[in-house]
Chains A and B, each alone.
Chain A
């Protein structure tokens, strides 16, 4: 007795793949946005940037 399906359910494969692609695309966009910000902004980050005060332009 053959228990395997005779035909592959292409509808299932295509539509499941489409929903997977939608999910991957959304997660990828999130990584691209966050990655882009970190990539361009990470280099400017320093302890002085976060905690340091203004050194010029505040003298009276």
Chain B
């Protein structure tokens, strides 16, 4: 929130001879400029140095984020641009067709380089063509003719051989690799929405209580305790969710699958609560005391002041807290990897197991062939995660800007 500049009570000139703005604003006939003392010059140099240091640090941070995004996007670029092809079935060539084909076509058909092909004699080439034809006849899976790395195959359901109906399937290590990313996206979305449904009411409610209603001594105890929650490593939270929370929730609700999106979302909520609480509490505390005092003087209750005066004034900060909470929830890996069940299924039920995009990257990236299709698609998922978080932050920023404008009476 921008604060309007306070008026200078001592006039515009001669008050602070060391300040550049004031010196420049001097009237033409105001006499010679007072010389800067050595200590002021030193202070100016120090200010300049600190400013440049901050600029350097912030620019470096932005450049590093951009470079990370460029690296992630570059690795996924062949899939993004549709330059990968893992379709395995071609029409087998006869010996006569092989003799008529160009060396490049023949090399591509046999899966060798043109240089390697040049080194083979005619008998070897003929034998390779026959072997290739035999191999193709043996491969009787009709799904092999599909390029499963296209956007269509990654986003739309497909009716695979031996399946009754079209389905969204993520099976990157099967005979025919299937890379549909919809189950992963839905898994991330389910866990994130549940996490926010748990963490936003609890985090904002606790922030209102601590900042507006709690006794000062109690506040000194509660605030550090809740912030301590952010110090618990996510692997410990995941461990707790896997061993304890999942069992409790299953006993309480009675769903069949112990590890599911609901349990993962609740555990994820525990990781998000400290972020939402801390930022919301700061926003609520920074609302001027005069607002509260004026409302109390008019006879409002503590709750009315908190709900109708302080919360609307702090709404941009509270909303920013929720956006940051969303970013943490969708990017969190360990908790969902341990507590979600990791089943790549498309289901509307929150009590079914799910698998998130982050958990998939964490579980599979160490075991893929470097530079292969699977590797590239995992990077594409990383780039998508980046894009989702970026768009969410951008929209959040726009909403915060509008809320601020409304609060300042500009909109």
Q: Is A55 an interface residue (CB 8 A)?
A: no
Please tell me the number of chain B residues within 8 Å of chain A, measured between CB atoms: 28
The prevalent SS among residues of A at the interface is helix
Given contacts A12-B301, A12-B302, A33-B232, contact A22 B237 (CB under 8 A): no
* B:177-234 near A, CB below 8 Å: 201-203, 205-206, 208-210, 213-214, 222, 225-226, 228-229, 232
Q: Is A26 an interface residue (CB 8 A)?
A: yes
Number of A-B residue pairs at CB separation under 8 A = 65
Per-position 1/0 for A8-47, Cβ under 8 A of B: 0101100110111111011101101110110000000000
CA distance A35 to B123 in the complex (A): 75
CA distance A16 to B307 in the complex (A): 10
CA distance A20 to B306 in the complex (A): 13
Q: Is B240 an interface residue (CB 8 A)?
A: yes
> Top 4 nearest A-B pairs by Cβ distance?
A22-B205, A19-B209, A12-B303, A23-B206
Q: Is B319 an interface residue (CB 8 A)?
A: no
Q: Is B139 an interface residue (CB 8 A)?
A: no
Chain B residues in 8 Å Cβ range of A18:
205
B193 to chain A, nearest CB (A): 19
Chain B residues in 8 Å Cβ range of A22:
201-203, 205-206, 209
Look across to chain B and name the residue whose beta carbon is closest to the beta carbon of A25: B202
Contact B270 A29 (CB under 8 A): yes
Chain B residues in 8 Å Cβ range of A16:
209, 213, 302-303
A9 to chain B, nearest CB (A): 5
A3 to chain B, nearest CB (A): 13
Contact B213 A20 (CB under 8 A): yes
Contacts A15-B307, A27-B226, A30-B232 given; 17 further ones with Cβ under 8 A?
A: A11-B303, A12-B302, A12-B304, A19-B205, A19-B206, A19-B209, A20-B213, A22-B209, A23-B205, A23-B214, A23-B222, A23-B226, A25-B202, A26-B203, A26-B277, A33-B236, A34-B232
B374 to chain A, nearest CB (A): 36
A-B contact pairs, 13 of them (CB 8 A): A11-B304, A12-B303, A12-B304, A18-B205, A19-B205, A19-B206, A19-B209, A20-B213, A22-B203, A23-B206, A23-B209, A26-B226, A26-B277
